[in-house]
Amino acid sequence: MFKIGFLNIFKILICIVKVSFMKESPYLPVNGTIKDEKTAIKIAKAIWIPIHGKEIKDLRPFEVTYAPVLDYWIVRGNVAKCTTENIPEIIIKKRDGQVMYVK
C-alpha cells in the first residue's frame, strides 16, 4: 500500500513539474494570433465601442504601431480629431491577443 501511495504522489509531482515548465502553448501560431494591423484594429473597435460608443468610428483613421521589442500592437484613435483626455488607446499582445491596456 505504501508503494501505491508513493507512486501516485510521484506521478502527481511529475505532472506539476511538467505544467510549471510549460511556457509556450502548442496551439498558438508561431507568428502570433494578431498578425497584422487590420486584425488589431478590429479587436480595438470591438473593445472600444462598449466603452466609447459608436462615435469611435469618427476617430478614423486609427494609428497602429507595432512594438517588436514587447511584441505588442498599439492602436490609438486619430490624435487630430481628439482632445488629449479622450484619445482611445489599446495595447494588444501579438502572440495571444491578450489586451494589456485600454483607455
Taking a C-beta distance cutoff of 8 angstroms, is the pair 72, 55 a contact? no
pLDDT tens across the length of the chain (103 residues) = 445 555 556 566 555 555 555 555 667 777 788 899 999 999 999 999 898 888 887 788 888 999 888 889 999 888 777 666 678 899 999 988 989 989 8
pTM of the predicted structure, to 2 decimals: 0.70
CA distance 78 to 99: 20
Report CA Rg, the chain: 21
Helix/strand/coil (H/E/C) assignment for every residue in the chain: CHHHHHHHHHHHHHHHHHHHHCCCCCCCCCCCCCCCHHHHHHHHHHHHHHHHCHHHHHHCCCEEEEECCCCEEEEECCHHHCCHHHCCEEEEECCCCCEEEEC
Question: Rounded to whole angstroms, how far apart are CA atoms 103 and 84?
Answer: 12
